[in-house]
A and B are shown apart, each in its own frame.
Chain A
C-alpha cells in the first residue's frame, strides 16, 4: 500500500513553524549560556534570577489581579448573556447575538485603539481599571459562547420540574440551573482567564503608568535585551496557560459524558 506523503509533510511543517520555536524557547530557559546559539549546560539560574526581579513580580501581580477580576465579572455577565440569548425570543435576538459575537472576530488592534480613544474622550485615567474594563469586554463574549453551546442540549423541563416542586424562580436557578451549568461556566471562566492572562495588544493600548502587565513587561525586556530571563518567564506562562486550558477542556468533556 502506498500512502500519500502530504499529511506527513504537513505535520512536519506545522511542528517546525509552530512548535519548534516554542521548544527552543523552553530548552533555552534551562541553558547556562547567555546566548541561545550554543548549549552551555543545564541550569535553573534564570528561574532563580526571576525571583529577584522586582518589576516582574509587580507585573505578575497586576496581570493576576486583572485576569481574576475580569474572569469573575465576565463569568457572571457572560452566563447571563448566554441565558438571555438562548431563553428569550425577540426580533432583536439576532442583533444581540451579533453584539456578543463581534468582539471574537474584531482585530485586537482595533479594539485596543477604539477603547483607548473612548477612555481618553471620557477623560478616564489609564491604569489597571482601564485594562480590566477592556479585558471584560472580550471575555464576556467567550464565556457567553461557551454557555450558549451548553444550552443547545439543555432540557428546560428540569427547571419546570423544580418550579412544580415548589421552588420559586430563584430557588430553581440556584438549586438546578446553576449546578447544571457550573461545568460550562467554569470552562468559560478558564478560557477567559487564559485570554486575559496573555493579552498584549489591547492591554498595550489602554495601559497607563504603573499598570504594566506581564506580556507588556516581557516585550520591554526584549527591547532591553535579556533573553534568558524572558525564556524562563515565558515557559512559566506557557505552563500556566496550558494547565488552565486542559482543565477547561476536561470540565466541558466530563459534562458531556453525563
Chain B
C-alpha cells in the first residue's frame, strides 16, 4: 500500500513541554489509523499539526506527496471532527453541512444536491432546518461528520469524537463510524485515549506516550506482541515477571530463570542473549488454572500456586493466584463445572499453566507502567478499594 500521509521527524514544544518528540509516521491511503495514548501523550497535538492549527518546531508533513507543513488550515485537503463538535450555533443543520461548499463558492445546485446526499447518509433529512442547540449529542456528532465529509477531504481527522457521548450512544456511533469509513473510503486519522475504541475501529494503531511513539501495529499485533511494558499495560491487562535468560531450548524458544519458578519456556523472537535480564508479559486470559496438574506437550509452562481471591463477573471469573513473590491475575471462563465437578475457591491449591507462545519478552520495562492496569491493591480481601482506573490515569 502506498503511504499517503507522512510525518517526518516532527517535534513540537509548548514552553518546556515536548508535546511531540521527533515522531516519524506513515499512514496508508484509505486506512483507519488511530493515535492512542493517555492525555498529554501528544496525540491531539499531532492531529492539530496535521490540520494546520499548529506549526511544528521541526520536521515536515507530507500529504499525497505534497509538503503541507506550512500550508494554512483552509488550504489543506483535510477536515476535522472536533471533540466538542464545534458546530456553528447560529446556522441550521443544512447550513452547517453546506458551509464548506459555500465558502468554496460552488454553484447552488451542486450545494443542494451534495447536502441532500449527506443528510441522507447521516439519516437527518428531517432535521435539516433545526439549529444545533435542538439536537441530541449523537445527532450533533453526525452533523459534524457530514460537515467534514462533504468537502471530500483526503484525510478525515477525528479528535476523540465519541468522548462526549454516553456509553450506549458511543457503541452505536462506533459502528456508524466504521460503516461510514467503509462507505466513503477516505483515510481516517483517529485520536483517542480509549483502547476499546481504537482496537475495534482501527486497521493500525500508533500507541503514544510522552510525545513519542511506543509501537505501531495492527490491534492484534499490539495486544499479542507488545514491545514494552507501556504498550502491554495500556492495552489490556497483563502480568509482568522478571527473570534471566538461562539458555536455549529447541527452535526459537529460550529457557527463563524466574525466581521461585521452575524453568519457564518462552518464545524468543527477539534473540535475547543468555544471562540477560528480561521482563516477561503474560495476559491474564492466557493462563489456565486447574486443580489437577495438566499434562503438557512440552511447550506448556506449569507452576503451582494458591488462590488468594476470586471475583465472579458472569462472563468470566478473575482469580488472583499467589506463586512465590507474584500475584498472578488470571481470567477464566466456565469456572462452575470442572472435570471433578467442583469449583475453584479461595485458598485452593491450584496449577497455573500457559503456553510458551503466550508469554512475551519485553524490550524494556518501567515499573510505573504497572499503575496503568486495574490492579487491586496488594493484600487479601481489600477489593472494596476502588481500582486505579485506566481512563482516570490517562
> Is B one of A's binding partners?
yes
- Measured CB to CB, the residues of A under 8 A from B are 155, 157-158, 160-168, 171, 175-176, 179-180, 258
A255 to chain B, nearest CB (A): 10
Q: Does any Cβ of A come within 8 Å of B51's Cβ?
A: yes
Q: A160-B53, A180-B90 are in contact. Are A166 and B103 (CB under 8 A)?
A: yes
Interface membership of chain B positions 80-94, coded 1 if the CB is closer than 8 angstroms to chain A and 0 otherwise: 101010111110000
In contact, A164 and B84 (Cβ under 8 angstroms): no
In contact, B74 and A163 (Cβ under 8 angstroms): yes
Q: Which of A158, A166, A171 contacts B88 (CB 8 A)?
A: A158
In this complex, what residue of A is CB-closest to B79? A164
Closest 6 A/B residue pairs (Cβ): A157-B86, A161-B86, A165-B100, A163-B73, A166-B103, A167-B103
A251 to chain B, nearest CB (A): 14
Can you show 15 pairs from A to B with CB atoms below 8 A apart? Answer: A157-B86, A158-B89, A160-B53, A160-B80, A160-B82, A161-B80, A162-B88, A163-B53, A164-B73, A164-B148, A166-B100, A166-B151, A167-B103, A175-B99, A179-B90
Q: Is the interface of A mostly helix, strand, loop or mixed?
A: helix
Q: A167-B74, A258-B133 are in contact. Are A180 and B103 (CB under 8 A)?
A: no
| A255 CA / B78 CA spacing, docked (Å) | 32
| A175 CA / B88 CA spacing, docked (Å) | 10
Q: Which of B53, B72, B90, B147 contacts A165 (CB 8 A)?
A: B147
A162, A163, A164 — most chain B CB neighbours (10 Å): A164
| A176 CA / B147 CA spacing, docked (Å) | 15
Question: Which residues of the partner chain A approach B74 to less than 8 Å between Cβ atoms?
Answer: 163-168, 171
Question: Which residues of the partner chain B approach A175 to less than 8 Å between Cβ atoms?
Answer: 99, 103
Interface membership of chain B positions 102-133, coded 1 if the CB is closer than 8 angstroms to chain A and 0 otherwise: 01100000000000000000000000000001
In contact, A155 and B84 (Cβ under 8 angstroms): yes
In contact, B72 and A168 (Cβ under 8 angstroms): yes
- Measured CB to CB, the residues of B under 8 A from A are 51-53, 72-74, 78-80, 82, 84, 86-90, 99-100, 103-104, 133, 147-148, 151
Question: Which residues of the partner chain A approach B86 to less than 8 Å between Cβ atoms?
Answer: 155, 157-158, 160-161
| A157 CA / B82 CA spacing, docked (Å) | 8
A182 to chain B, nearest CB (A): 8
A160, A166, A171, A175 — most chain B CB neighbours (10 Å): A166
In this complex, what residue of B is CB-closest to A159? B86
| A176 CA / B74 CA spacing, docked (Å) | 14
In contact, A166 and B80 (Cβ under 8 angstroms): no
In contact, A180 and B104 (Cβ under 8 angstroms): no
Question: Which residues of the partner chain B approach A166 to less than 8 Å between Cβ atoms?
Answer: 74, 100, 103-104, 151
Question: Which residues of the partner chain B approach A258 to less than 8 Å between Cβ atoms?
Answer: 89, 133
In contact, A171 and B80 (Cβ under 8 angstroms): no
| A168 CA / B89 CA spacing, docked (Å) | 19
A169 to chain B, nearest CB (A): 8
In this complex, what residue of B is CB-closest to A165? B100
Q: A163-B53, A163-B74, A171-B103 are in contact. List 10 more A-B contacts (CB 8 A).
A: A155-B84, A162-B88, A162-B99, A164-B53, A164-B73, A166-B151, A168-B72, A175-B103, A176-B90, A258-B133
Question: Which residues of the partner chain A approach B80 to less than 8 Å between Cβ atoms?
Answer: 160-161, 164
Q: A157-B82, A157-B84, A160-B82 are in contact. Are A165 and B89 (CB under 8 A)?
A: no
| A171 CA / B105 CA spacing, docked (Å) | 12
In contact, A165 and B99 (Cβ under 8 angstroms): yes
In contact, B103 and A161 (Cβ under 8 angstroms): no
| A164 CA / B147 CA spacing, docked (Å) | 11
| A164 CA / B100 CA spacing, docked (Å) | 9
Q: A155-B86, A176-B88, A258-B133 are in contact. Are A163 and B72 (CB under 8 A)?
A: yes
| A157 CA / B87 CA spacing, docked (Å) | 9
Question: Which residues of the partner chain B approach A160 to less than 8 Å between Cβ atoms?
Answer: 51, 53, 73, 80, 82, 86
B134 to chain A, nearest CB (A): 11
Question: Which residues of the partner chain B approach A155 to less than 8 Å between Cβ atoms?
Answer: 84, 86
Question: Which residues of the partner chain B approach A164 to less than 8 Å between Cβ atoms?
Answer: 51-53, 73-74, 78-80, 148
In this complex, what residue of B is CB-closest to A160? B53
Question: Which residues of the partner chain B approach A161 to less than 8 Å between Cβ atoms?
Answer: 80, 82, 86-88, 147
| A175 CA / B53 CA spacing, docked (Å) | 19
Q: Which of B53, B79, B89 contacts A180 (CB 8 A)?
A: B89
In this complex, what residue of A is CB-closest to B84? A157
A165, A167, A176 — most chain B CB neighbours (10 Å): A165
